[in-house]
């Protein structure tokens, strides 16, 4: 089965930049999507097709994907960005696969 | 504005069948542009896709759950359903229903753009 690996946690000071990675075998040839999930809430799509932002998502959120690693970058981090973040891809053998998740803590 | 709402028992006994309903409002299930899916999240853990269905009844399932899962739809009532048989404590989770658009080739391989609020199902005797 296809596995997506994320760091368990990322800590960042307000106003700084957070980068969350999502590792998978040849993930660069897949479309990667990212979700933000705050405690007690459903996930919210923040990036789709590697780097596209849904309407209403701030430009501070961006994504990239190449080789074996996809990344979600949040610039000018705010307290409200504190949440869990999950990557997701489609794999022909496994179906929809989610990453292990990364907890972003704003210091 | 599209909304999804899960409903069903919050407690299921081991070895029994978990049954959930997702009610879609503010839009119609009968669109060829979307599939409708189920995703679960055990307490404190990550997300796991369970299965998805089109309005016409085309289904596809997580291979690891396929033998126990059935997803069905009633487009005329804007409802779709999840059944998971032979449950164990490992099936305790928050269950979400969600919509996902098809890609340019009409394949349901994309992202989940609208989610229900989720419902906690506990498997215990």
Q: Concatenate the DSSP letters of all residues of B72-101 into one string.
A: EEEGGGTEEEEEE-S--GGG-EEEEEEEEE
**Mean model confidence pLDDT for chain A:** 97
Q: Which residues pair with B119 in a beta bridge?
A: B95
| pLDDT score, position B107 | 84
Q: How confident is the model at residue B104 (pLDDT cuts 50, 70, 90)?
A: confident
Distance in angstroms (rounded) separating the CA atoms of residues A76 and B5: 34
Percent of chain A with pLDDT over 90: 99
Kindly state the DSSP code that residue A107 receives in the 8-state scheme: -
Contact list in A for residue B111 (CB cut-off 8 A) is 33, 45, 48-49, 88
Say what the alpha-carbon torsion angle B85, B88, B89, B95 is, to the nearest 10 degrees.
-10
- How many angstroms separate the CA atoms of B39 and B124, rounded? 21
* B122 vs A92 pLDDT, higher one: B122
Measure B39 CA to nearest chain A CA, in Å: 10
Task: For B97, name the nearest residue in chain A, comparing CA atoms only.
Answer: A42
Distance from CA of B15 to the nearest CA of A (A): 25
pLDDT in the model for residue B108: 85
Inter-chain CB proximity B116 and A42 less than 8 Å = yes
Band (pLDDT 50/70/90 cuts) for residue B71 is: very high
Asked if B2 is an interface residue toward chain A (Cβ–Cβ < 8 A), one would say no
d(CA B76, CA B30): 8
Does A95 sit within 8 Å of B62, measured CB to CB?
yes
pLDDT at A52: 97
Higher local confidence (pLDDT), B24 or B107: B24
Report the chain A residue with the minimal C-alpha distance to residue B48: A98
Per-residue pLDDT at A100 exceeds 90: yes
Is the confidence at residue A56, as pLDDT, over 90? yes
Q: How confident is the model at residue B103 (pLDDT cuts 50, 70, 90)?
A: confident
Instruction: Please indicate if any CB of chain B lies within 8 Å of the CB of A53.
Output: no
Q: Is the pLDDT of residue B105 over 90?
A: no
User: A52: which strand partners?
Assistant: A48
């Amino acid at each position: 089965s296809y596995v997506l690996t994320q760091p368990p946690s990322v800590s960042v000071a307000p106003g700084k930049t957070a980068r969350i990675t999502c590792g998978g075998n040849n993930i660069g040839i897949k479309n990667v999507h990212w979700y933000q999930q705050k405690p007690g809430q459903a996930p919210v799509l923040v990036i789709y097709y590697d780097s596209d932002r849904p309407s209403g998502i701030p430009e501070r959120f961006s994504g990239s994907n190449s080789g074996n690693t996809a990344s979600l970058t949040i610039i000018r981090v705010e307290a409200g960005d504190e949440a869990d973040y999950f990557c997701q891809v489609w794999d022909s053998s496994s179906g929809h696969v989610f990453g292990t998740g990364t907890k972003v803590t704003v210091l | 504005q599209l909304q999804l709402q899960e409903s069903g028992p919050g407690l299921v006994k081991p070895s029994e069948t978990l049954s959930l309903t997702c009610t879609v409002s503010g839009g119609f299930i009968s669109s060829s542009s979307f599939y409708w899916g189920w995703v679960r999240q055990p307490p404190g853990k990550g997300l796991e896709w369970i299965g998805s269905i089109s309005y016409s009844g085309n289904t596809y399932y997580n291979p690891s759950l396929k033998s126990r899962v059935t997803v069905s739809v009633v487009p005329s009532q804007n409802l779709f359903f999840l059944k998971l048989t032979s449950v164990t404590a490992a099936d305790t989770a928050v269950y979400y229903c969600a919509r996902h658009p098809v890609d340019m080739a009409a394949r349901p391989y994309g992202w989940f753009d609208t989610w229900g609020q989720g419902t906690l199902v506990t498997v215990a005797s």
